[in-house]
């Protein structure tokens, strides 16, 4: 059943992204990412840059009773890769039971928690528990992904001048 849930997770998030001005490409060899998404404006014009998404699918998520967060154990090697990308990287947990996706912007999460994955690796750590909000993904979240990507691309253009 694991491969079925993985497929469901891809098609679920791809549908949501496509509805909100992204064209989605599946990455078939998993080297830390499951999909790449390029954005386009509401009028259909392609926009520079892209986002990466790492999907994790599960039968059911456990939401913390006290903190109302979804927990996920991420490999340090992946966190290093994700933290060093010049464009946004999102970790998305798909719950097959309720057909919801929960997400976190990995780069912002690490920065806001003062976490440097390279330091963790130097200390011999192999995993870090990431806590995601238990709010199911919706269109406004995807719109914020596009806005963040466009903001990052604008900063890159300014640096390149």
| Model confidence pLDDT, tens digit, residues 2-43 | 789 999 999 999 999 999 999 999 998 777 899 999 999 999
pLDDT at 150: 95
Spatial contact of 11 and 25, defined as CB atoms under 8 Å apart: no
pTM of the entire structure? Answer: 0.94
pLDDT at 29: 76
| Model confidence pLDDT, tens digit, residues 47-90 | 999 999 999 999 999 888 888 999 999 999 999 999 999 999 99
Alpha helices in the chain (DSSP H): 2-19, 76-83, 106-112, 117-122, 139-160
Mean pLDDT of 134-149: 95
């Amino acid at each position: 059943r694991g491969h079925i849930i993985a497929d469901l997770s891809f098609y679920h998030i791809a549908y949501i992204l496509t509805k909100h001005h992204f064209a989605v490409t599946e990455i078939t060899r998993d080297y830390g990412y499951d999909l790449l998404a390029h954005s386009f404006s509401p009028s259909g014009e392609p926009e520079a840059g892209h986002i990466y998404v790492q999907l994790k699918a599960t039968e059911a998520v456990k939401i913390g009773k006290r903190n109302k967060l979804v927990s996920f154990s991420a490999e340090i090697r992946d966190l290093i890769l994700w933290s060093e990308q010049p464009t946004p990287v999102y970790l998305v947990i798909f719950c097959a039971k309720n057909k919801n996706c929960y997400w976190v912007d990995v780069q912002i999460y690490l920065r806001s928690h003062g976490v440097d994955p390279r330091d963790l690796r130097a200390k011999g750590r192999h995993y870090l528990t990431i806590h995601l909000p238990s709010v199911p993904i919706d269109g406004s979240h995807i719109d914020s992904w596009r806005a963040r990507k466009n903001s990052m691309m604008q900063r890159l253009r300014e640096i390149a001048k």
